[in-house]
Amino acid sequence: MSKSPEFIPLSDDAVRAVAGAASRHAALIEDAFDVLVETPGGGVQLEGDTRNRAAAKRVVQALADRADKGHEVNEADVRVAIGQARSQGGRAPAGLPQGRRGQVAPKTPGQANYLQALANCELVFGLGPAGTGKTFLAVAHGAGLLLRGEVDRLIVSRPAVEAGERLGFLPGDLTEKVDPYMAPVWEALTDILGADQLRRRRDKGEIEVAPIAFLRGRTLSHAFIIVDEAQNATRLQMKMVLTRLGEGARMVVTGDPTQIDLVNSADSGLAHAVGLLEGVKGVGINRFGAEDVVRHPLVERIVRAYDADAAKRGQAV
């Protein structure tokens, strides 16, 4: 295919946004699509094969539109634009598998920052309201690691608060007892892997689910561990699960600190752990906001209304 250059005329602000400080944005585009990005003056020049150049052009135009509207363009915006361009072009974002409903890609800057943290840190906390993709993106990242052989197992854990971590009175084996609490995770894994591959990998022990209490005393090596709904883990449980990390293991802890179901909300281990570990080498903290909600548009408005009410009550105290 042709590798002849293509020139895209842009405003000066748009050119600066596409290039980025020290040409960082241009470098991200080059790495993503195997193209050469140059700014000879008056616009951006792309060189590469036809398909890659077309994808890179979609990113350039998205960033230019944002800059021309007077918005700041940062690295997270570039990563979102890259993910969307890849999705439109039928290419999966690097490191993420393809879901049955399309390419898995960040849809907001907050999601792009989250995926960057998952790639760079051994332990990541994803904090924020429902609908921001905390669990789905963690599952997608972990599934990608498993499919590429970078980890041997994907382990998913949740506190079973409603049953007080005492699941013995429920009928069935451990899997049947735990599955109702893991429905969002199973939905995400089914979307990414398909039901047949998910079943095979569960049967082989490559995908495991367990309440937090069942992780006690174990060392989890060469695994990707997802601790979901972690706002309902107590401080003691949180310390226990964080110290399960073994050789070659990585972990993501997700939760919404405003949705604690524990009898004593002050005993929640999520906010406590974040306060202790923020700034520690190897630990990433990603906070989602209402602007990161990617469910029904009404969900974002609901989250903002509750946030406003919480802020009002906080000021009144």
Looking at residue 63, its pLDDT comes to 94
- Output the pLDDT for position 163: 40
Residue found by looking up tokens 């907001």 in the block: 108
Superfamily grouping for domain 111-290: P-loop containing nucleotide triphosphate hydrolases (3.40.50.300)
Q: What pLDDT does residue 134 have?
A: 93
Cα–Cα nearest to 114, from 105, 102, 124, 122 = 124
Per-residue model confidence (pLDDT) at position 147 = 87
Describe the strand order of the beta sheet including 153-158 as a list of residue ranges.
207-211, 153-158, 223-227, 250-255, 123-127, 283-287
Q: At 158, phi and psi to the nearest 5?
A: -145, 145
**pLDDT given for residue 184 in this prediction:** 77
Kindly state the helix (H) or strand (E) to which residue 76 belongs, with its residue range. Answer: helix 75-88
| Residue tagged 């596409």 (tokens) | 18
Domain with CATH 3.30.1370.10 in the chain: 6-91
- Residue 213 phi, psi dihedral angles, 5° rounding: -60, -30
pLDDT at 130: 85
pLDDT of residue 103: 63
pLDDT, position 92: 46
Looking at residue 247, what is its pLDDT? 93
pLDDT of residue 98: 65
Tens of pLDDT, residue by residue, the chain (317 residues): 456 789 999 999 999 999 999 999 999 999 888 999 999 889 999 999 988 999 999 999 999 998 999 988 988 888 888 877 876 654 445 566 766 666 677 888 888 889 889 988 999 999 998 889 899 999 999 998 998 889 999 999 988 765 444 444 445 555 555 566 677 788 888 888 888 989 999 999 999 988 888 888 899 999 999 999 999 999 999 999 999 999 999 999 999 998 888 888 888 999 999 999 999 999 999 999 888 887 777 877 887 888 888 788 764 33
Report pLDDT for 166.
47
Give the right CATH number for 6-91 from 3.30.1370.10, 3.30.70.360, 3.20.20.80, 3.30.1700.10. Answer: 3.30.1370.10
Portions of the chain given CATH number 3.40.50.300:
111-290
